[in-house]
Amino acid sequence: MVLRNVVTEYMAARALAFKESTILASWRKSGIHPMNPDIFSEADFAPSITTSTQLHWPSSFPPIPDEPCDIAQAVSQRLRKERAERAQNSNDSSSSDSDLDSDIGLDTRSPDDHMSCSFISFSSLPSYPMQSSLPSQPEGGPSFFVPGQRNSRNSTTLNEIHLQRQLAEWKRRALVAEGQVMIEQAEREAATVHAVFAGREASILKYQLNANTQKKTNTSKCFTTSAQIVTSAEGKEQAIAEASKRDAKKNELEEKKKKKQDTERADFLRCAEQEHEQLPFSGSLRSKLKAELQDILFALGLNIEGNVAALLLRINAHFDTETALKQDPRYIGLFSKPSGKWKQAAEDHSETMQPSPPIHHSPSPIHSQPLIPPRP
């Protein structure tokens, strides 16, 4: 099969695998289609991106103003609307008061809160006939005139007007306070919205940062760019070859790990045997290999990890601190040249040592091959 037939074969397989009816049926079963935003709660809410054509959020979620001045404008519009509704509702209740004001000639255009009698026109008050010696008697019976009735009526009207003006002033102050409360509430809700958006953006950036720092475990390609599709014979052969390479690499790592463990075990057994027999050390420290330096450190009870330079530095520092060890028969050969006196001391030390019983070890593959000291 040539390369130009890959696209045709893939599109044919895709048409058979991904059918429109199957996808729609899956959407209906999962509840994705038809979309119902009301099934989500505030905990599931995620803001739509700026490129979205339909923004969905819960009804309790505060709106996002474009500019800060839009908040004050919306509040002022709401206040004007409420004032118009209240004025319309109070027209019926204030009709009787306005008729009464027109009867007594009140000037309601005065903005002062303190009442005065300057706006009362007594010429417009109704006139009452004076009593005569021979008053005319109507058919319905005699009528009596009360002198204080007109004054009490005027004072009652003034008090009512004064109370109405005070009530209007308090209503105005209440509306101003209500508008201020609405502005503060809108600003608080806008700050909450910005805080939510900032938190979500911070979580996204944190996820991206952690994803970049994570080490990729599988960096090998399943197939090259010039290969056929995976279902072809060539793709299957290449997949088998990739699997065999991975298995070989895994086996190689396991062998290296096992070899390292065997080497560490052999070094430990050698050091234990030398410590048991108390064998003396000889020769210059600079001419020794890493394994020999580790034996000296093991005998001194120090750490045996590190390279050759670190091991030499550790040994010299210990002997500089403990100068008496340089005269010890076991370590004197490290700091003095071979001589007859040193040979005699070594022989005396070996004669005083009793023959130790042989150490029996469990059979292991280490004894079947010669011990090779590790490279420095």
Between the two ends of the chain, the Cα-to-Cα distance in Å is 55
Look at residue 202 and tell me whether its pLDDT is greater than 70: yes
* pLDDT reading at 35 higher than 80: no
Residues 325 and 203 in one domain: no
Is residue 338 within 8 A of residue 282, CB to CB? The reply is yes
290 in the same domain as 166: no
* Residues 78 and 157 placed together within one structural domain of the fold: yes
Residue 214 pLDDT > 80: no
Residue 339 falls inside a structural domain: yes
Contact 303, 289 (CB under 8 A): no
Q: Which of 334, 165, 353, 186 is nearest to 276 (CA)?
A: 353
Tell whether 326 is covered by a domain. yes
202 and 74 belong to one structural domain = yes
Q: Specify the amino acid at residue 141.
A: G
296 exposure class (CB count in 10 Å sphere: 0-12, 13-18, 19+): buried
Domain with 347 in it:
266-352
78-82, 311-315, 365-369: which has the minimum mean pLDDT? Answer: 365-369
Residue 111: the pLDDT is 42
Instruction: Looking at the structure, tell me whether residues 301 and 199 fall in a common domain.
Output: no
Shared domain check, 78 and 201: yes
CA 145 – CA 136 distance, rounded (Å): 14
Note whether 197 and 303 are same-domain residues.
Answer: no
Task: Give yes or no: residues 295 and 202 share one domain.
Answer: no
Looking at the fold, whether 208 and 275 belong to one and the same domain comes out as: no
How many structural domains does the chain have? 3
Q: Is residue 230 part of a domain?
A: no
49 assigned to some structural domain: no
Please check whether residue 61 lies inside any domain of the structure: no
Q: Does a structural domain hold residue 128?
A: no
The residue with tokens 């994803």 is: 211
CA distance 296 to 288: 10
**Residues whose CB is less than 8 angstroms from the CB of residue 270 and which lie 6 or more positions away in sequence, other chains included:** 291, 295, 371
Structure tokens belonging to residue 221: 């390609």
> What's the confidence (pLDDT) of residue 356?
46
Residues 276 and 337 in one domain: yes
Question: Would residue 368 count as lying in a domain?
Answer: no
Same domain flag for 304 and 193: no
Let me know if residue 334 belongs to a domain.
yes
Given a cut of 70, whether residue 85 has pLDDT beyond it is yes
Res. 286: pLDDT tops 60: yes
Q: State the pLDDT confidence band at 108, using cuts at 50, 70 and 90.
A: very low
Residues 206 and 317 in one domain: no
Question: Long-range CB contacts (< 8 A, 24+ apart) of 218-223?
Answer: 220/246
Read off the pLDDT of residues 137-167 as tens digits, 9 standing for 90 and up.
444 444 444 445 555 666 678 888 888 889 9
Q: Give the residue carrying structure tokens 């009698």.
A: 117
Asked if 145 contacts 128 with a C-beta cutoff of 8 angstroms, the reply is yes
Q: Is the pLDDT of residue 328 over 70?
A: yes
